[in-house]
């Protein structure tokens, strides 16, 4: 299926959960915030949140430093 990830087209597996999708990107959930179609998804709901074709995903990864 096709989704938009941070304003770019991205191919994702059908029926994938948000938690599995983030993991498939090689990211750990610590320090990450995700919004689907403009709505922030709480981290405790990632496993029960499934992605669908043409959704817009905004993934923000916090980076520390100075």
DSSP string spanning 13-51? -TT-BHHHHHHHTT--STTEEEEETTEE--GGGGGG-B-
Percent with pLDDT over 70 in the chain: 97
Structural domains counted in the chain: 1
User: Cα separation of 55 and 31, whole Å?
Assistant: 22
Q: Confirm whether 66 is domain-assigned.
A: no
Q: Confirm whether 18 is domain-assigned.
A: yes
Residue 14: which CATH number? 3.10.20.30
Q: Confirm whether 48 is domain-assigned.
A: yes
Report pLDDT for 1. Answer: 94
Report pLDDT for 28. Answer: 87
Report pLDDT for 26. Answer: 92
Tens-digit pLDDT profile for residues 19-50: 999 999 998 888 999 999 999 999 999 999 99
Q: Confirm whether 56 is domain-assigned.
A: yes
Q: Confirm whether 31 is domain-assigned.
A: yes
Report pLDDT for 63. Answer: 77
Length of the chain: 66
Which range marks the domain in which residue 35 is found?
2-61
């Amino acid at each position: 299926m096709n989704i938009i990830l941070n304003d770019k087209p991205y191919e994702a597996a059908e029926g994938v959960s948000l938690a599995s999708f983030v993991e498939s990107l090689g990211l750990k959930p610590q320090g990450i915030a995700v919004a689907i179609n403009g709505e922030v998804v709480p981290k405790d709901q990632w496993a029960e949140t499934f992605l669908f074709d043409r959704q817009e995903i905004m993934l923000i990864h916090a980076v520390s430093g100075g």
